[in-house]
């Protein structure tokens, strides 16, 4: 796609940063499966083998992509930095999670990348370090914070699996599928029908992802605040 530019300025030197940026742009545009060594090289107007001077392997290239996005998350969350006393921790953690979410919505392939990599990107570690700091200032014990990070799970970095998305609600095909499934799945279909009825504006799908993300996030944050205040048996 950018081959014309590459030909016009043919001596722009390759670099690890340029390789990663090209791979990220390709993943944004065509999905993570489109990212092959040969294709990234092609977009850079170069041969596949040239990439190996800046990246040890394809695996390491994906590690680099994960770091790229992790750094964006860290940068985005650093903007949310106000003094934390007591219950104010909640707003800061919430806003940081939502800031992280915005980054991941720009790079939808990144969530899957975080899950598949074994090593945690340095930027993500730094992001977590900030969360730990905020919660510590808020009055949580380290043990409580540790549990809290697990309880938040990927929500802390702005995503949760969209495991439950029935897809396009209003299409004739979906409506027919609902009728067909109703005998097998009476409770589920009944629920979906009512949800769709209550909110006829959500024509694209049944589920407002942003709203549901915030509902789940708030549910966990509220629970953690109760732990912090000692109004729960947990976290002892």
Q: Which of residues 3-42 bind DNA (CB under 7 A)?
A: 13-14, 35-39, 41
Helix then strand count (H, E) for the chain reads 11, 0
Integer Rg of the chain from CA: 22
- Which residue carries 């024509």 as its tokens? 203
Least distance CB 225 / a copy of itself (angstroms): 11
Q: How many chain residues are in contact with a copy of itself, going by CB under 8 A?
A: 58
Choose which of 17, 29, 47, 229 interacts with DNA (CB under 7 A). Answer: 47
Distance between CA atoms of residues 69 and 113, nearest Å: 10
Residues 6+ apart with CB under 8 A from 156: 93, 97, 100, 128, 131, 149
Question: Does residue 14 sit in helix, strand or coil?
Answer: coil
- Applying CB under 8 A, among 3, 161, 171, 210 the residue interacting with a copy of itself is 161
Residue range at the interface with a copy of itself (CB under 8 A); choices 16-24, 42-50, 77-85, 147-155: 147-155
Q: Does 220 bind DNA (CB under 7 A)?
A: no
Nearer to DNA, 39 or 117 (CB): 39
52 touches DNA (CB under 7 A): yes
Task: Give the 3-state secondary structure of residue 81.
Answer: coil
DSSP letter assigned to residue 203 = -
- Minimum CB–partner distance for residue 39 and DNA (Å): 5
The angle that helices 16-30 and 58-78 make with each other, rounded to 10 degrees, is: 80
Is the CB of 47 or the CB of 129 nearer to DNA? 47
31 part of the interface to a copy of itself, by CB under 8 A: no
Per the CB < 8 A criterion, the answer to whether 196 and 206 are in contact is yes
- In the block, tokens 């006829």 appear at 200
Closest distance of CB 48 from DNA, Å: 5
Report residue 206 CA to chain centroid gap: 21
Which among 4-12, 39-47, 67-75, 223-231 is the span making contact with a copy of itself, rule CB under 8 A?
223-231
Sites of contact with a copy of itself (CB under 8 A): 112, 114-116, 120, 125-126, 128-130, 132-133, 136, 142-143, 145-147, 149-154, 156-157, 160-161, 163-164, 166, 181, 184-188, 190-192, 194-195, 198, 206-207, 212-213, 215-216, 218-220, 222-224, 227, 232, 234
């Amino acid at each position: 796609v950018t081959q014309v530019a590459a030909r016009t300025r043919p001596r722009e030197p390759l670099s690890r940063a340029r390789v990663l940026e090209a791979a990220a742009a390709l993943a944004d545009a065509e999905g993570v499966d489109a990212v092959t060594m040969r294709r990234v090289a092609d977009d850079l107007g170069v041969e596949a083998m040239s990439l190996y001077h800046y990246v040890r392997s394809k695996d390491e290239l994906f590690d680099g992509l994960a770091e790229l996005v992790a750094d964006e998350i860290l940068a985005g969350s650093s903007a949310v930095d106000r003094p934390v006393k007591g219950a104010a921790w909640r707003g800061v953690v919430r806003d940081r999670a939502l800031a992280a979410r915005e980054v991941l919505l720009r790079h939808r392939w990144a969530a899957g990348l975080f899950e598949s990599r074994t090593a945690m990107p340095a930027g993500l570690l730094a992001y977590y370090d900030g969360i730990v700091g905020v919660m510590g200032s808020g009055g949580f014990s380290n043990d409580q914070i540790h549990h809290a990070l697990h309880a938040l799970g990927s929500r802390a970095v702005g995503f949760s699996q969209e495991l439950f998305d029935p897809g396009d609600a209003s299409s004739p095909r979906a409506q027919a599928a609902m009728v067909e499934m109703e005998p097998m799945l009476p409770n589920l279909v009944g629920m979906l029908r009512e949800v769709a009825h209550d909110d006829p504006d959500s024509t694209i799908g049944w589920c407002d992802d942003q709203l549901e993300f915030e509902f789940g996030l708030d549910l966990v944050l509220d629970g953690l605040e109760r732990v912090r205040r000692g109004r729960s048996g947990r976290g002892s």
